[in-house]
Every structure is written in structure tokens, then in C-alpha cells.
Amino acid sequence: MKERHECDVLLDYFNSTLTETEQAEFEKHLETCSDCQAELLELRMLTEDLPYLAEATEPNDGMKERILTAVFSETDAKERIEQKPVEESRTSRKPKQWLQPLLAASLLLSLGANAYFFLNEKPKVTEPMTASVIQDVQLAATEGFRGSAQATMVNEKHAASLIVQAEQLQKLSGTETYQVWLIDEKGDKVRAGTFRPNESGNGAVSHPMPESKNRSWKMIAVTLEPTPESAQPLGDIVLAAEL
């Protein structure tokens, strides 16, 4: 995994094709990469309804070859037009880059291949993937700060995730980051994500919910931290809401 740029394995992570070690390394990278966080969130939103949008049909002959041809043709055309080194394209990476034709074609290939293999397997009964919202709250800015955020707890296949989308936050400097915290009834604080906003002050993070068995969360807060490594909040509370 280290031979590739960390952001380049986003699709492999989304499609669950990474090894356990690669997945752990990418999730560590995901905590501090706002671009990957935003892209992952949009990929989930884009694909969550795809299984229900069309009836299962037998793929046409040559489907896989046509998709591969389209992908490689798009790749060749893009390389001839841009003529830019790999490192330059990485440093100029912009939010929502996954919408570019090549990445969209790669996503199409992945979905098409999955559908092809699924349809050629022996019929078996599978449980549809469904997600349900556990809780949805609006975070308000504390005194001296600006911005707002929406926090949504989602349960999917017995695994819970916390999604936070913030806007109009103040710009950061140096190593500063925003961190999300869940606070239980005892006042203990558990970190639930780290993010940096874009130039417009908008940011998002999707984070697995910490083990909540026999635990009651009372508050969610976003703090302004000096570094992304804070194990406990050190900075001021910027946004907060009761749960």
C-alpha cells in the first residue's frame, strides 16, 4: 500500500478489497484527509440506492470488454491532453475529484463487474443492505465562534457510524484541526473523527461509532485542536449539542 499515494486507494477501500493491514493504514490516513472524507461520504450517498434502481438482468455479451475499452480509451486521452507528472496531479488535487471521467469510469467498471459476477453465481438468498438513522442533531456555535454542523448517527448491518457535516467554520492555520468528541453521562470524552475545512469553511467526517454497549452518550462537541493527535480535547469547544 505504501508504494501508492494514500488517497489512490479510496475506491479499493470503498469496495472492501484491501487487506486488513491496508484498511487500517487507510483509515488512519482518512482521519486527517478532508478530501478523502468528502469523497467517501459522497460515494456512499451516491451508491446506497443503486441496488434498488434496476432489475437484475443477464449482462450482454462483451459487457466487460466494452467497459474496459472505454476505461483505457479515457485513460489514454486524458494522459495525452494533460501531459502532467503524477506528483503534480497529486498536489493540485481538488475536492470532488472522483467526479472526473476516469474515476467515474472506474466506479462503473467496479459496479459492472460486481453485478456480472453476482448474476453468474448460484442463486442464493441474501439480506438487502439497509441503513437506518439512529439520531440526527444540529450543532450550534459556542460564544466567540461561528458555523454550524449536522451530526447523524447511522446504523448499517449492525455497525454504527457517525457522520458530521459542518459549514461556515473559521479557517485554520498551521497544524490546527477540528476534532469531534462524544461525551458520556460520566463526562468521559471519546474522539470520533478529525477534519479540516475547505476554503469555504465546509468540512465533513465519517467515523465508526465507538463501542456503545451499556454506554449512554449525552453530548457531541467539535473542538479546535492545535494538532490532529489530541487523545483528549485541549482546545476550545466550537460547536456542541445535547444528544
Same domain for 147 and 218:
yes
Q: Which grid coordinates belong to 26?
A: 487507510
C-beta separation of 83 from 106 below 8 A: no
Cα angle value 107/108/109 (rounded, 5°)? 90
Average pLDDT over residues 230-239: 92
In a domain, 125, yes or no: no
Same domain, 58 and 150: no
pTM: 0.48
Residue after which a domain boundary falls, among 77, 95, 120: 120
Q: Which of 87, 120, 153 is the last residue of a domain?
A: 120
* One domain, residues 28 and 107: yes
Residue 1 lies in a domain: no
- Asked if the structure places residue 103 within a domain, the reply is yes
If asked whether residues 161 and 107 sit together in one domain, one would say no
pLDDT averaged over every residue in the chain: 76
Among 183, 187, 135, which residue's Cα sits nearest to residue 163? 135
What is the reported pLDDT for 89?
A: 41
Is the same domain home to 108 and 153? no
Strand (E) positions, 53-171?
Answer: 131-141, 148-156, 159-167
pLDDT band at 201 (very low <50, low <70, confident <90, very high): very high
- Which pLDDT tens digit goes with each residue over 55-68? 555 556 566 566 55
Percent of the chain with pLDDT over 90: 31
State pLDDT tens for residues 93-122. Answer: 444 444 455 455 555 555 555 555 555 555
159 and 223 inside one domain: yes
Judge if 104 and 171 occupy the same domain. no
Domain termination site, one of 120, 154, 169: 120
Q: What is the pLDDT of residue 241?
A: 95
Do 104 and 161 lie in one domain? The reply is: no
Could you tell me the CATH number of the domain that includes residue 235? 2.60.40
Task: Based on the fold, state whether residues 210 and 147 are members of the same structural domain.
Answer: yes
Count the domains in the chain: 2
More confident residue, 68 or 141: 141
Q: Which residues of 147-186 are buried (b: 16+ CB within 10 A; e: fewer)?
A: bebebebbeeeeebbbbbbbeebeeeeeeebbbbbbbbee
Residue 126 in domain: no
Tell whether 155 and 116 lie within a shared domain. Answer: no
Same domain, 63 and 29: yes
Block residue for cell numbers 490546527: 176
Four-point Cα dihedral 230, 236, 238, 242, nearest 10: 80
Highest mean pLDDT among 22-26, 105-109, 114-118, 198-202: 198-202
What range defines the domain where residue 174 resides?
Answer: 131-242
Let me know whether 209 and 153 are in one domain. Answer: yes
